[in-house]
Amino acid sequence: MTRLITLVLLVFTLVQSASAGGPWPRKKNSGYAQLGFTYVGYSSFYNHEGKITSLRRPVTDFTSQLYLDYGLTDRLTMTANLPFKYVSTADRISSADTTYFQDTIQSGSLFGLNNVMLGFKYNIIKKKVLFSAGLNVEANVAKYDSISALRTGANTWVFHPYLSVGTSFFSGKLYTLLDAGYRVRLNNYSHEADFNFELGYSWNQKTYFILNVAGRFSMQNGSFDNNVTTMVNPSDSTITTIHPNGRDLHTSLYTNNQQFIGYGLKFIQKIKKVQINAAVYIGSGQMVAAAPSYNLGVAYEW
């Protein structure tokens, strides 16, 4: 049976206006600004084998963020994202199967920036079918608490070149787009390949229903081990592995070698220059939380 999974890592790319993503550029001096919120609560995750595994402590993950698209020229669009996260683990300890986690770590909470993003997208072909290329850079500004293993983002800079193609049909009532990219990550994190596909429909250019499929796949080329920890016995110098799978897996927040395929449904309502959007995402993967992601945003377009 397919389980539900959170797609927290895709929040800023998936929860946007239909006209904010894809190959379509912003006109010069025009823009799109959004205040968005995402909530995820989960008590299990997909382990490295893709199996549902109970966590010892339930996790709460809440994101609030400011997103901006701005047209520098009629073909060059600047994109920025300023995300803040609140993450916490509960005091109560799960009594579920503990085969995977034979111990636990201290509960706690953490608030701070996620990986701040700045990007540029250039429209190469602007005809019936549009084609654009872009580069996003994510800054390593996230917080980490070694006691609770809570993270507000990955401990790495990310350089993300991508290509985007899209078109519309039936006088703009139906549109589709495909983004594909490669995420270069530092600090011994594995690189990643990703894609994002959308199919949207609107009968009045004001109300949109959008189907989304997105994925991210680890290249498995990074040596970061999710903070596996060992203990040396002073009496005989033997080494015991305390967290053989890594301390970070106790929360599954921004661990190395995460990968997933997710499916989303978005709704957008335009009211003059104001837009209200909502979305929910499900799917499956490895090293990611097993719970749905709920998203809500309010945007202004000029």
Q: Where are the domains of the chain?
A: 8-301
pLDDT digits (tens, 9 = 90+) for 273-294: 999 999 999 988 999 999 999 9
Q: What backbone phi and psi angles, to 5 degrees, belong to 12?
A: -75, -15
Average pLDDT of the chain is: 90
Helices (H), 169-221: none
pLDDT, residue 99, reads 79
Confidence of residue 232 (pLDDT cuts 50, 70, 90): confident
Residue 136 is predicted with a pLDDT of 98
Q: Which fold has domain 8-301?
A: Porin (2.40.160)
For the residues 227-234, what does the mean pLDDT come to? 78
- Say what the pLDDT of residue 1 is: 39
pLDDT for 189-225, tens place per residue?
A: 999 999 999 999 999 989 999 999 999 999 999 999 9
Residues 43 and 54 sit within 8 Å (Cβ to Cβ): yes
Distance CA 290, CA 54 (A): 9
**Where residue 16 falls among pLDDT bands split at 50, 70, 90?**
very low
Q: What is 78-128 written as a DSSP string? A: EEEEEEEEEEEE-SS---S--SS-SS----EEEEEE---EEEEEEEEEESS
| Residue 46, SS3 per DSSP | strand
Whether the pLDDT of residue 13 is over 60: the answer is no
Surface-to-core class of residue 236, CB atoms within 10 Å of its CB (0-12 exposed, 13-18 middle, 19+ buried): exposed
Do 104 and 146 form a contact (C-beta atoms < 8 A)? no
Give the model's pLDDT for residue 88: 98
